[in-house]
Amino acid sequence: AQSVTQLGSHVSVSEGALVLLRCNYSSSVPPYLFWYVQYPNQGLQLLLKYTTGATLVKGINGFEAEFKKSETSFHLTKPSAHMSDAAEYFCAVTWGGGKLIFGQGTELSVKP
Amino acid sequence: DTEVTQTPKHLVMGMTNKKSLKCEQHMGHRAMYWYKQKAKKPPELMFVYSYEKLSINESVPSRFSPECPNSSLLNLHLHALQPEDSALYLCASSQDGQETQYFGPGTRLLVL
């Protein structure tokens, strides 16, 4: 079955440090890929997406992600963490048909 | 504008009550979705409407009844819910069933 794996349910970084959140999918057919962020008691906000074209995708709030087909990965990075980045991050993929498959989520904590 | 609105923000209901959740988008999207999200978990797909027709029902109990009166509006009618139905209910929309889903802020439901 097609699935999405986020490595690490909880990641903690210091303010100003690099943020790296990992996402891998299981399929030989590349999907459309997304990262969403969810702040406490809020809905999901789209950070960035990859559908076709350039494999390095820039999103909002200084985040970016690179699609690596050979590694079936779509890791999310930000060069310098800010306290306001503390939230839950979900990687999601779709192969169409209206079904978005989510990873289990990674909670990002940012220490002052 | 990528806004999806949901009302109410919070809802408390007894197990014998009937209530409805409302979702609205004015982006011209033709696909709309209902998700259920428990704490610290990813959203779980419940229903998908495509061009105002129900296209996916993920074996949701009949105490949840979706309705799509027009292309901008999606309702979720609730009746005889159980305490385990307490969750955050998220609505989303996309251009069609293939593309990026945009989420609303959610309705926090508590069933007593």
Cβ within 8 Å, pair A43-B2: no
What is the pLDDT, as a whole number, of residue B1?
61
Work out the number of other CB atoms within 10 angstroms of the CB of residue A98.
Answer: 20
What is the pLDDT, as a whole number, of residue A35?
98
Contacts of A105 in chain B (CB under 8 A): 40-42
Residues forming a β-bridge with A71: none
Q: What is the mean pLDDT of residues B9-24?
A: 95
Sequence-ordered list of residues with C-beta below 8 angstroms from that of A63, at least 6 positions apart, any chain: A19, A35, A47, A48, A76, A77, A78
Please check whether residue A103 is in contact with residue A6, taking contact to mean a CB–CB distance below 8 angstroms: yes
Rounded CA-CA distance B109/B111 in Å is 7
Please check whether residue B54 is in contact with residue B48, taking contact to mean a CB–CB distance below 8 angstroms: yes
Residue A28: pLDDT over 90: no
| Chosen from B101, B102, B107, B109 to mutate, greatest number of chain A CBs within 10 A | B101
Closest C-alpha to B34, from A103, A100, A58: A100
Work out the number of other CB atoms within 10 angstroms of the CB of residue B83.
Answer: 9
Q: What is the mean pLDDT of residues B69-80?
A: 96
Task: Give the model confidence (pLDDT) of A38-74 as tens digits.
Answer: 999 899 999 999 988 889 999 999 999 999 999 999 9
Q: Which two tokens stand for residue A44?
A: 């999901």
CA angle A101–B87–B95, rounded 5-degree value:
40
Closest C-alpha to B31, from B60, B74, B65, B2: B74
Contacts of A41 in chain B (CB under 8 A): 108
What is the pLDDT, as a whole number, of residue B98?
66
Q: What is the mean pLDDT of residues B81-88?
A: 96
Residue B99: pLDDT over 90: no
Please check whether residue A36 is in contact with residue B103, taking contact to mean a CB–CB distance below 8 angstroms: yes
Cβ within 8 Å, pair B90-A45: no
Residues forming a β-bridge with B66: B76
For B86, half-sphere exposure in the C-beta direction (CA atoms, 13 angstrom radius) is: 10
Sequence-ordered list of residues with C-beta below 8 angstroms from that of A49, at least 6 positions apart, any chain: A32, A33, A34, A35, A57, A59, B100
Rounded CA-CA distance B59/B14 in Å is 23
What is the pLDDT, as a whole number, of residue B97?
63
Residue A18: pLDDT over 90: yes
Min Cα distance B15 → chain A (Å) is 24
Task: Give the model confidence (pLDDT) of A80-108 as tens digits.
Answer: 999 999 999 999 999 887 789 999 999 99
Burial of A32 (0-12, 13-18, 19+ CB in 10 A): middle
In the block, tokens 């033709």 appear at B30
Least confident residue range of B19-33, B45-59, B89-103: B89-103
Provide the percentage of residues in chain B whose pLDDT is more than 70.
Answer: 96
Provide the percentage of residues in chain B whose pLDDT is more than 90.
Answer: 88
